[in-house]
Amino acid sequence: MRVAAILLAAGQGRRFSAQSASPVAKQYLTLGGRPVIRHAADALVPHVQILQPVGDRAALDDALSGLAPDGCAVLAAVPGGETRQASVSAGLEALDRLPADQRPDLVLIHDGARPYVPADVTRAVIDALGAHAGVIPGVPVADTIKRAHDGIITDTVPRTDLYRAQTPQGFRFELLRDLHRGAAASDATDDAALLETAGHHVAIVAGSEDNIKLTYKEDLVRLERLIGPTLLPRM
Ligand code: CTP
Ligand code: MG
C-alpha cells in the first residue's frame, strides 16, 4: 500500500497571533531548534512514501530544507485555500495529478501545527486503514461537559463516548478525493465528518495527550516542555 501524507500549513494562526503578537504564523515558530512544521514533517516521513505540503512555497521550502528521508518523496508545496477543508482539497488534487502508478492508496491528513505526534499514533492509524475506510486518533474527554446558553447551563452532556479528535487522520485516497469533490464538502467540519455523512464507518484509535495542536499560547508552554524552548523572532 502506498501511503501519502498531506501536511497542512496554509493557516494564519489567528488565535495564537492575537495573544502573542508573533510576526510569523505559529507553524513556522522555532521550537527546540527546528520549526514546528519541520517537527511534524520529521514525525510523518518514516511512515509514508509521499509527503505533500500545503501552504506558502517559499516558507515551506525553507522550513523543510534538508529533509531527505529514505523512501519518501517530498513534493513541492501547493498553495492552500481559505478554509482548512479547502487546503485539504488542494493537497488531494495535487496528489491526484501524479501519474497513476505513483498515486497513493491511502492518505493521511495532518495539522502542521501538531509537532509532537508519537510514532505509535501514526502507526495505529495506518494499521487500522487495513480494515476501515477512515481512521482518526482521539483521546477520551476527561472534563465534565456543560452546555450553556446566555451564561446559564441548559444541560450536562454525558462524557461517556466523547473523544477529542486529533490528526493524522487516515483515509482511502480515492474515497476522500471523491467526497471532497462532492457538494457536501464545504459544509463538513473535518474529513471524518464527510465519510460519516456519506455512511462510511470511521474508526477511532488511541491518540496521545502529547499530540498537542499549537492553538493558544498555553499550548506553546506545554510543547516547550516536550520539545525545547522557543526561539522568538527578533522584532
Ligand atoms: N490550515 C490550512 N489552511 C487553512 C486553515 C488552516 O492549511 N485555510 C492548517 C493550519 O496551518 C494548521 C491546521 O490546518 O496547521 C489546523 O488549523 P488551525 O489550528 O485552526 O490553524 P489556523 O487556522 O492557522 O489557526 P486559527 O484558526 O487560530 O486562525
Ligand atoms: Mg483555523
**Residue of 6, 22, 88, 111 best suited for mutating to test ligand 1, as the one with most atoms within 8 Å of CB:** 111
Could you give the CA distance from residue 165 to residue 208 in angstroms, rounded to a whole number?
Answer: 10
- Strand, coil or helix: what is 162? coil
Averaged pLDDT, 136-152? 95
Q: Report the percent of the chain where pLDDT is more than 70.
A: 98
Report the DSSP beta bridge partners of residue 74. Answer: 51
Per-residue DSSP letters for 190-232?
A: SHHHHHHHTT--EEEEE--TT-----SHHHHHHHHHHH--EEP
What pLDDT shows up at residue 158? 86
Averaged pLDDT, 53-67? 96
The DSSP code for 65 is T
Averaged pLDDT, 168-181? 97
Is it the case that residue 159 has pLDDT exceeding 90?
no
What pLDDT shows up at residue 120? 98
What pLDDT shows up at residue 23? 84
ipTM (interface pTM): 0.99
Averaged pLDDT, 17-23? 87
What pLDDT shows up at residue 187? 77
Give per-residue pLDDT as tens, 117-129. Answer: 999 999 999 999 9
What pLDDT shows up at residue 228? 94
What pLDDT shows up at residue 189? 83
User: How far is ligand 2, taken at its centre, from the CA of residue 227, in Å?
Assistant: 23
Closest residue by CA, ligand 1 atom 19: 215
User: How far is ligand 2, taken at its centre, from the CA of residue 13, in Å?
Assistant: 7
Per-residue DSSP letters for 87-139?
A: HHHHHHHHHHTS-GGGS-SEEEEEETT-----HHHHHHHHHHTTT-SEEEEEE
Is it the case that residue 235 has pLDDT exceeding 80?
no
The DSSP code for 142 is -
Is 54 within 8 Å of 10 (Cβ atoms)?
yes
Is 39 within 8 Å of 116 (Cβ atoms)?
yes
Check if 138 has its Cβ closer than 6 Å to any atom of ligand 1. Answer: no
Q: Which set of grid coordinates corresponds to residue 53? A: 505540503
